[in-house]
Every structure is written in C-alpha cells, then in structure tokens.
Chains A and B, each alone.
Chain A
Amino acid sequence: DVKVTQSSRYLVKRTGEKVFLECVQDMDHENMFWYRQDPGLGLRLIYFSYDVKMKEKGDIPEGYSVSREKKERFSLILESASTNQTSMYLCASSSTGVPSTEQYFGPGTRLTVT
C-alpha cells in the first residue's frame, strides 16, 4: 500500500515563526504536491515537484516555499507564519506515465497560527 506520512497532525505556531511541514512517501513516486484546504474553497495547490530539486508554483505560492532534496521527501516552509495561513495542509504524491493514476494523500496537518 502507498503510504504518505506528514510530520504532525496538529500544529500551533506563533505569528512570525518559521514553520516546516514535512511529507514522506514510500512508493518511489516522482510527483509530490502541497495543498491547503479551507472551507468553501476546496483544495488549492501551493507548490508541486516532478523530481528531486525541482519545484513549480501552484495557484497560491505566496508566503510559502518548498524543498525536495530527496525523492521521498517534500517539505513545505512558511518563512514567517501569519494568521491567514491557519489551515489544513495536505501532501500528496503520484507516479508519472499513467494518466489515470490518482494522487495519494497524507493524513493532513491542521496548522493554527496565533
């Protein structure tokens, strides 16, 4: 079974702190994604990566950065957390080549910035 794990289920941080959200997948997937989920807005793509050391901006990259030093790990960084970044963060991974392949999601990290 594909497994995508995220470092924390719940996280509380203060405004201005630097926040790291870690995601690890164990299926050798090339693609990894970070989304945030907010009520009424669905999931919105923050950043994604098709390969090690590669990254591309999604729809809402402002205030975030990412790092992919190893194939299995994709980190989301909030350089200076703000209250409007309070949200659920979901990591996902998928393989390339087969159009019908779904994305596999981690359990999510609920981040609260106070």
Chain B
Amino acid sequence: AQKITQTQPGMFVQEKEAVTLDCTYDTSDPSYGLFWYKQPSSGEMIFLIYQGSYDQQNATEGRYSLNFQKARKSANLVISASQLGDSAMYFCAMREYNQGGKLIFGQGTELSVKP
C-alpha cells in the first residue's frame, strides 16, 4: 500500500497567488515526522519544512506552511505569494520513528508558476 500519496502530478499557479500541494499518508506508528522537499530543474533536493506527529501547531517557514490534519492523515504544503522561482518538483516524505532514519517519498507534484 502506498504510504505517501501526492495526487497532483502537475499544478499551475499565477505569480503572487497562494497554492496548496496535497499530501496524504498512511502509518500505524504514532510517532512520525512529515517533510517537504523542493527539487528545481537543477536536480538538488532542498528541505523546506518539517511537522512532527505530536506537534500541536502547524509548521511554518517563511512563505511555506504545512496544513497538518492528523485525523485525516494529510500534510498539505501551502506556498503563499508564489514566485517564479517556486517552479519545481515538490516531494512529501514521511519518517516513521520505529523504522529509523529512512524517509518514504511520495510521487511528487510539479508546480509551474505563471508570470
């Protein structure tokens, strides 16, 4: 069974608008963490934001926020005020703490920001 699902293969957003990238996950481990990474066309993976399963508040990092809905097992990434440089692949990933340090990645969403 897919543990991390990103249902949007590609998305478009107008510059300066907000966009939400969906991520749902499946785990029976009560202790886990959720990560979002950005991969520009150059190929490097850039860490964006982290949410722990016990965190009470939604994580925020600058223009990035994570809409964490634990009961629904979703961890959507919200990018506010999109910029042209936000055009990239975005990956959601999960670490189950009883599985050590490895990450399970979703399929990715390709975001294109239109001027």
Q: Which residues of A contact B (CB under 8 A)?
A: 31, 33, 35, 40-45, 48, 50, 58, 88, 90, 92, 94, 96, 99-100, 102-105, 107-108, 110
Q: Total A-B pairs in contact (CB under 8 Å)? A: 57
Whether B44 pairs with A107 at a CB distance below 8 angstroms is: yes
Question: A42 and B102: CB pair below 8 A?
Answer: no
A108 to B44, CA, bound (A): 7
Other-chain contact of B100, A42, A50, A88, A108 (Cβ < 8 Å) = A50
On chain B, the number of residues with a Cβ less than 8 Å from chain A's Cβ atoms is: 27
B-chain residues with CB within 8 Å of residue A104 when the two chains form the complex: 47
- Asked if residues B103 and A42 are in contact (CB atoms below 8 Å), the reply is no
- Cβ–Cβ contact B103 & A88, under 8 A: no
* 8 A–B pairs (Cβ distance < 8 Å), ordered by A: A35-B105, A40-B107, A41-B107, A50-B100, A100-B50, A102-B35, A104-B47, A105-B45
Contact of B43 with A by CB under 8 A: yes
Which of A44, A94, A99 makes the CB contact (< 8 A) with B105?
Answer: A44
Asked whether A42 and B101 contact (CB < 8 A) given A99-B95, A100-B52, A107-B43, the answer is no
Contact of B103 among A50, A100, A103 (CB under 8 A): A103
B91 engages A33 (CB within 8 Å):
no
Question: What is the 8 Å Cβ interface bit string for chain B, positions 49-91, against chain A (1 contact, 0 not)?
Answer: 0101000000000000000000000000000000000000001
